[in-house]
Amino acid sequence: MNNREQVAQAISEALDGQLTVEDIVVKIEQPKTSDLGDLAFPTFVLAKTLHKAPNLIAADLADKINQTTFEKVQAVGPYVNFFLKKGNFAATTLAAILTDKDQYGAQNLGNGGNVPIDMSSPNIAKPMSMGHLRSTVIGNAIANILSKTGYHPIKINHLGDWGTQFGKLMQAYKMWGTEAEVKADPINKLLEYYVRFHKEAKEHPEMDEDAREWFKKLEDGDEEATRLWKWFRSESLKSFMRIYDELGVKFDSYNGEAFYNDKMDEVVQILEDKHLLHESKGAEVVDLDKYDLNPALIKKSDGATLYITRDLAAAIYRKREYKFVQSLYVVGAEQINHFKQLKAVLTEMGFDWADQIHHIPFGLITLNGQKLSTRSGRVVLLEDVLKDSIDLAMKQIEAKNPSLANKNEVAHEVGVGAVIFHDLKNERLNSFDFNLEEVVRFEGDTGPYVQYARARAESMLRKANKTTFDLDDISIDDPAAWNTIKALSEFGDVIKRAATEYEPSVVAKYAINLAREFNKYYANSKVLVEDDGLNARLALVKSVSIVLKESLRLLGVESPDEM
Ligand code: ARG
């Protein structure tokens, strides 16, 4: 029985079973400050059935509750506050962790419902940007968190493999490119053509016209255009795969924009049938005045379809294919309007599931205060960032633990983990600046700091040669351990909040706090001393290790046992 169940049981007994333990458990809250106890039951829920003021109910309940199993039970206003016996609280918390292991904190909010997550989705023939990195790591963490709360996430890489930019690229390649050059260094060369195209097209607007023609050819299935497109796509995908391998992120689908080519006629047909399309400056648009949004541009005057048309087809396809309970899009905040339009058009089309679509926006990463953009050529190559981070991690390991056995592997786990963690510790909507030195520090709010705390815990367990624990002897009432134990007990709530808010930073901040409390604990206590409390203290150390590792796993970060 966990602490909430214990409290719920006592309340249910005092109410002579009027409410079941299950009814009560979900109502129990954690008070804001510890002087209000460890857990609290708000009595509002009973006011109707008992025809009594919540304050009176709380006072009565506090009187009736069997106090012996608690340190103190107290009514404050409409709340019954429970002060748990520290020793018992510790014992139930640690027993739950040591029994459930990596399942600790799991819960069933989702009943196995499918949740497609549109994530990463970089654009072919361009390098993956920091924004795509954010989408990749945030999407991956949300997938892990949803899976831990009983949903079935489906990670979809909606590759930007279609659109007018391919026309530009083909035109540029035709003007300046050679096959050998592209083969030697695909992403950089293709980017170079693209940047040069934008520069020169400013002075030669007819280039834009040629580019439009190339894209039109592609949409019409022209042989040369298709061959070039396939080639650019496969070269790009190869380089994206290298980054995904580094990050340890896998996808369930790579159906990108091109996948929906043959699915757009249906979209246009439905729009026409519902009389939603009308002409504006030669293009076909859906009016979204009543949503306070600009019209959605569905088809250009030359018949070419657009980004949103492909997203409409994709949304409908996903509903049919996955029968989703929610459909998520982890895409930068600069596309907020696009997703508002998408939802509005789907609503207009009569799809009541439009409200299951959620855009999960996030802020920009700046580099030394500067915005990054592909068009200007001011890009940071992600592979370079990861490589630099791994190098820096290696330097720190060399300084701290030069005799470490598998240094390369650990440097990889620390370096890559640092970049991922740095991204996820910020609330996703916040923009932040990227400074590698700061990202890889072993102190402060960093991934390596959390990994290091866990590696310390593992090293204590190795020193004590302890792998099994006597669960009947894990009661700790040492005040120095209290904050750590409380933090451990909150893991389930933290995961639930992260899942409902689609906010991995909740887990990252939690991990930093747990690591910090644990560091304080063992700095002030003689954990490894051979006395009666040793089993319990090591059970605490093991529990911290389990929960830190699981927190990092949810974020997509590895935890080396030694570093
Ligand atoms: N490729 C797009 C970009 O880089 C992101 C795609 C997001 N997903 C979507 N279904 N629209 O801006």
CA distances from 210 to 18, 32, 89, 162 (A): 76, 64, 72, 17
CATH number, span 385-555: 1.10.730.10
Q: How many angstroms is it from 240 CA to the middle of ligand 1?
A: 15
**pLDDT confidence of 491, banded at 50, 70, 90?**
very high
Asked if pLDDT for residue 419 goes beyond 80, the answer is: yes
Asked if pLDDT for residue 379 goes beyond 80, the answer is: no
**359 within ligand 1 shell (Cβ under 6 A):** no
| Residue 19 one-letter amino acid | L
Which atom of ligand 1 is closest in space to residue 307's alpha carbon? Answer: 11
CA separation for the pair 96, 471 (Å, rounded): 10
CA separation for the pair 435, 437 (Å, rounded): 6
* Residue 503, number of CB atoms within 10 A of its CB: 21
Residues of the chain with CATH 3.30.1360.70: 3-84
**Residue 16: partners with Cβ closer than 8 Å, 6 or more residues away:** none
Tell me the best of 118, 158, 324, 362 to mutate to test the pocket of ligand 1, counting ligand atoms within 8 Å of each CB and taking the most.
Answer: 158
Q: Which long-range contacts (CB under 8 A, 24 or more apart) does 64-73 make?
A: 64/14, 65/10, 65/11, 65/13, 65/14, 66/10, 66/13, 66/14, 69/6, 69/10, 70/10, 72/37, 73/10
**311 within ligand 1 shell (Cβ under 6 A):** yes
**pLDDT confidence of 273, banded at 50, 70, 90?**
very high
Tokens linked to 149? 């709360």
Taking CA atoms only, the protein residue closest to ligand 1 atom 11 is 311
Asked if pLDDT for residue 357 goes beyond 70, the answer is: yes
Tokens linked to 9? 């049981």
Q: 357 has which bridge partners? A: 327
Sign of the Cα pseudo-torsion (423, 557, 253, 162, in order): positive
**121 within ligand 1 shell (Cβ under 6 A):** yes
**161 within ligand 1 shell (Cβ under 6 A):** no
Taking CA atoms only, the protein residue closest to ligand 1 atom 6 is 121
CA separation for the pair 93, 475 (Å, rounded): 10
Asked if pLDDT for residue 463 goes beyond 60, the answer is: yes
Which atom of ligand 1 is closest in space to residue 160's alpha carbon? Answer: 1
Q: How many angstroms is it from 132 CA to the middle of ligand 1?
A: 9
Residues of the chain with CATH 1.10.730.10: 385-555
DSSP one-letter code for 32: S
pLDDT tens figures, 167-193:
999 999 999 999 999 988 888 888 899
**pLDDT confidence of 380, banded at 50, 70, 90?**
low
Which atom of ligand 1 is closest in space to residue 339's alpha carbon? Answer: 11
Contact 494, 510 (CB under 8 A): yes
ipTM: 0.99
Residue 117's nearest CA partner among 394, 330, 335 is: 330
Give the distance between the most distant pair of CA atoms in the chain.
Answer: 86
**331 within ligand 1 shell (Cβ under 6 A):** yes
pLDDT tens figures, 231-252:
999 998 998 999 999 999 999 9
Q: Which of 80-89, 109-118, 325-334 shows the lowest mean pLDDT across its residues?
A: 80-89
Tokens linked to 468? 């099994």
Q: How many angstroms is it from 160 CA to the middle of ligand 1?
A: 6
Asked if pLDDT for residue 344 goes beyond 80, the answer is: yes
Q: How many angstroms is it from 135 CA to the middle of ligand 1?
A: 10
CA separation for the pair 390, 242 (Å, rounded): 15
Tell me the best of 117, 118, 119, 121 to mutate to test the pocket of ligand 1, counting ligand atoms within 8 Å of each CB and taking the most.
Answer: 121
Residue 518's nearest CA partner among 441, 439, 438, 451 is: 451
> Could you say which architecture CATH assigns to the domain 3-84?
2-Layer Sandwich (3.30)
**118 within ligand 1 shell (Cβ under 6 A):** yes
pLDDT of residue 378: 52
